[in-house]
A and B are shown apart, each in its own frame.
Chain A
Amino acid sequence: MATIRFTPNLAKHRETPTIVTPGTTVREAVDGGLAQDPLLKSYVLDEQGRLRKHVNIFVDGTMVSDRSALSDPVAPGSEIYIMQALSGG
C-alpha cells in the first residue's frame, strides 16, 4: 500500500486527507486513492487524466517523469506527494 499526501495549499479548496491506497503505478494509486472524491481528483489531473501543468507528483522523493500516462512505478510503502509548482500572480 502506498500513501498519498497533499500540499497544504490544496487544503484551502478541498479536504485533503492522507490516503492509503494500493497500486503499482502512479496512475493506479491516484485513480484508486482519489476515486471517492472526483472533484479532488480534478484538482490534480485534467479530464484527459494528465497531470495538471502546474502540479507535480513526487514518489519517494523523485518527481514523476510521465505526466500523461502516470506510468511511474509505485512500491509497497511508497510515499506519494502531490504538490503545486510555484508560479506568480
Chain B
Amino acid sequence: MDRLHVGTRKGLFQFQRGKSGWAQSGPPAFLAEPVTALLEDPRDGTLYVALQHGHFGCKMHRSSDGGASWEEIPTPTYPVSDAPDAPALEMIWSLAPGGKDQPGKIWCGTIPGGLFVSHDRGSSWEINRPLWDQPSRPNWFGGGYDHAGIHSIIVDPRDPDHILIGVSCAGCWVTGDGGKSWEIVGRGMHGDYLPPDKAFDPVGQDPHLIAATASQPDRVWCQHHCGIYVSSDFGGTFTEITDVAPSNFGFAVIAHPSRPDTAWFAPAIRDAFRVPVDGRFVVTRTDDGGKSFRQQSRGLPEGLSYDLVYRHGLVCDDTGERLAMGSTTGNLWVSENGGDDWQLLSSFLPPIAQVAFA
C-alpha cells in the first residue's frame, strides 16, 4: 500500500511512496471541488470519489485506471415524493465495498440518513428501504449537519450480509440478512446531550465513527461524541473507556487490522473546543483493550497547533504499521511504525476530509 489518496475541501490529491520516500503524485483531481468520500475498491481497483458542489449538488465519479481518467456516474437519489420537504441528497459520507464474493457491490451512506447499494460499480443505486422506513426515523437527528448521516459501514469479512453501520445521530444498526431487516444495537452508549431519562437510548447516540478489527470483527471500537467505547460482539453492546488522557473527545478511530486490543484516536478538548488539549496535538494508542493509552507525538507539531482530525482522516494499512493522518488545517502525516514517529508530507493542503491507502 504505497499510494495514499487524500480527499480535501478543494480536490483529490494523491501521494506515492517511492525510493526517496513519500511525495505528491501528479496534479490533484477535481481541483477546487469538495471531496466528501472516496474508496479504492480492493476487489477490482476501481476508485470512487464523491463530491459536494456548492451549487450543483452531490456528484460521483469513478476511475478504472487509478485516477488517470474519470467517468461521472449517477449518485444515490431519494424516493420521489410530492411532500414539500421531500428528502434530497445532501452529502455522500461513506463508501464501502461489499463482500469479496460480491464484485461490483458497493454500499453508500449519506445525509440525510440513507443507506444505498449498487450492484454495478455505482452505475445505479437503490435505497435500502428497511432502514429508511424504520419507525424510529423521525427521532434521528443531525450531528453537525442538518440531518442524520451514515458515516460508518462495516461489512463483516466472515459474512457480507452481516453489516454494522454507525449514524450521527441514530446510533448503531446491524443487519444479518444483507439489509432486509435491521436491529438497533449499540447498547451501553450514552449521550450527555440527551435528556437524562433518554441518555442511554440507543437511537439517540452519536457514534462519531466505528471501526472493527479486520481479523476479529466482533471487536469494534467507537469514538463517540461523549467518549470512547469498545465492543466485543460486533457492536451489540459497548463498554465505555474512561480516564483517557489527554481527552476522550474526537472524531476518528482506527482499529488495528489484526490486534483487537489495539486502537488509535485523535483527541481534541471537547465538543465546544475542537482543538488539541493545551495546543499540543497528539495521537493516542491503546494496546491493552483500553486499559491504558499512550500519547504519540514524535513528528507532530512541537509548538502550539490547532489541528483537528475528522472521522475519515486517520487510517492504517493492512499491516497496522503504516498510518496516515490528515487534519482540517491541511496538514498530512504518515507513520511507518504504528504511530510512534510521524513524518509531515504536506502542511499546505486544503482542509482534509479523508485519507485512504491503496
Q: How many A residues, CB 8 Å from partner?
A: 22
Question: A85 to B53, alpha carbons, bound, how many Å?
Answer: 13
Which residues of A, 15-31, contact B by the 8 Å Cβ criterion? none
A84 engages B78 (CB within 8 Å): no
B88 engages A54 (CB within 8 Å): no
Given the interface pairs A85-B55, A89-B54, the reply to whether A47 lies near B89 with Cβ below 8 Å is yes
B54 engages A54 (CB within 8 Å): yes
Interface 9-residue window, one of B79-87, B184-192, B256-264: B79-87
Question: A73 to B54, alpha carbons, bound, how many Å?
Answer: 28
Question: A14 to B59, alpha carbons, bound, how many Å?
Answer: 11
B88 engages A13 (CB within 8 Å): no
Question: A63 to B80, alpha carbons, bound, how many Å?
Answer: 26
Residue numbers in B under 8 Å from A68 (CB-CB): 84
Interface centre among A38, A46, A48 (most CB of B within 10 A): A48
Type the 1/0 row for A25-62, where 1 means its CB is closer than 8 Å to any CB of B. 00000000000001100111011111010110000000
B88 engages A47 (CB within 8 Å): yes
Give A38's nearest chain B residue, CB to CB.
Answer: B74
A10 interface hit (Cβ, 8 Å): yes
Question: A14 to B61, alpha carbons, bound, how many Å?
Answer: 12
Which residue in A47, A50, A87 is a CB contact (below 8 Å) of B54?
A: A87
Given the interface pairs A39-B72, A39-B74, A42-B75, the reply to whether A48 lies near B88 with Cβ below 8 Å is yes
Type the 1/0 row for B92-109, where 1 means its CB is closer than 8 Å to any CB of A. 000000000000000000
B89 engages A10 (CB within 8 Å): no
Q: How many B residues, CB 8 Å from partner?
A: 18
Given the interface pairs A39-B72, A48-B81, the reply to whether A10 lies near B88 with Cβ below 8 Å is no
Looking at the assembled complex, report how far the CB atom of B121 sits from the nearest CB atom of chain A, in whole angstroms: 16
Looking at the assembled complex, report how far the CB atom of B124 sits from the nearest CB atom of chain A, in whole angstroms: 12
Give A85's nearest chain B residue, CB to CB.
Answer: B55
Looking at the assembled complex, report how far the CB atom of A16 sits from the nearest CB atom of chain B, in whole angstroms: 11
A10 engages B77 (CB within 8 Å): no
B88 engages A43 (CB within 8 Å): no
A52 engages B74 (CB within 8 Å): no
Given the interface pairs A47-B77, A47-B78, the reply to whether A42 lies near B84 with Cβ below 8 Å is no
B56 interface hit (Cβ, 8 Å): yes
Question: A81 to B87, alpha carbons, bound, how many Å?
Answer: 26
Question: A65 to B75, alpha carbons, bound, how many Å?
Answer: 28
Question: A9 to B53, alpha carbons, bound, how many Å?
Answer: 12
Give B86's nearest chain A residue, CB to CB.
Answer: A48
Which residue in B72, B74, B80 is a CB contact (below 8 Å) of A48?
A: B80
Which residue in A10, A38, A49, A89 is a CB contact (below 8 Å) of B56?
A: A10
B residues sitting closer than 8 Å to A (CB atoms) are: 53-57, 59, 72, 74-75, 77-78, 80-81, 84, 86-89
Given contacts A42-B57, A50-B88, 5 further A-B contacts (CB under 8 A): A46-B57, A46-B88, A46-B89, A52-B56, A87-B55
Interface CB pairs A-B, < 8 A, 20: A13-B53, A13-B56, A14-B72, A38-B74, A39-B74, A42-B74, A42-B75, A43-B53, A43-B57, A43-B59, A44-B56, A46-B57, A47-B78, A48-B86, A48-B88, A49-B80, A52-B55, A54-B54, A84-B55, A85-B55
